[in-house]
Amino acid sequence: MKLIDENGKQLGILRFREAMRIAKERDLDLVEVNSKSKPPIVRLMDYGRHRYRTMKMQRKSKSKTKKVGTKGVRIGLRTGKHDLEFKAKQGTKFLTEGHRLKIEFVLKGRERIHRSLAEEKLDDFVKNMIKIKTITVQKPKRMGMGMVTVITKDLEANIKNTKENK
């Protein structure tokens, strides 16, 4: 097997027992780097320290990734015009922050009979949201007490817009 020391210097092709003896002398571990090559490549290193560093790097990269959450807006048939505008503005803010927006249309009592009115009002609300222009809308689904739709910001269109603006 080909042996590489802790500094990256090649020590040559040695037998396994000889490589283990050198590792014990230097108080290091013998770690196989590439088993598929002929001869296999092994390296002298402190495996505990190596593992600690890789775990630390993984934690650091994990903390840097932005978590996409889902924010929600609830509206109903009797929701006023100003309230709809306000909730559309709030939803726009959520989308620009990078969140998904879940719109819940709640129908109470006899309002459940008028699902067509609810669909129209939901479409109007979504049209107010289209001022952003770069959104994808999921088809409304009927759920227990009403309807639910999810709006997400279209990343590909935003990338094109930022390139065009530069």
For residue 95, give the CATH number of its domain: 3.30.110.10
Question: Cβ atoms within 10 A of the Cβ of 128, count?
Answer: 14
Q: Do 54 and 24 fall within a single domain?
A: yes
Q: How many domains does the chain have?
A: 2
Domain boundary among 17, 44, 64: 64
Q: Do 97 and 27 fall within a single domain?
A: no
Per-residue pLDDT of 73-103, as tens digits, reads 888 888 888 888 888 888 888 888 888 888 8
Cα 142 → chain centroid: 27
C-alpha distances (whole Å) from 77 to each of 114, 116, 125, 151 are 9, 11, 11, 20
In this structure, what token pair is assigned to residue 143? Answer: 């759920």
pLDDT at residue number 21: 92
Whole-number percent of the chain with pLDDT over 90: 13
Q: Is the peptide bond before 40 cis (omega within 30 degrees of 0)?
A: no
Whole-number percent of the chain with pLDDT over 70: 87
pLDDT at residue number 98: 80
Range of the domain at 143: 70-165
Residue 12 — φ and ψ, nearest 5°? 105, -170
pLDDT at residue number 155: 56
Domain boundary among 45, 64, 83: 64
Domain boundary among 64, 92, 109: 64
Per-residue pLDDT of 47-68, as tens digits, reads 999 999 999 999 988 887 777 7
Q: Do 58 and 116 fall within a single domain?
A: no
Q: Do 60 and 88 fall within a single domain?
A: no
pLDDT at residue number 164: 46
Per-residue pLDDT of 31-40, as tens digits, reads 888 888 888 9
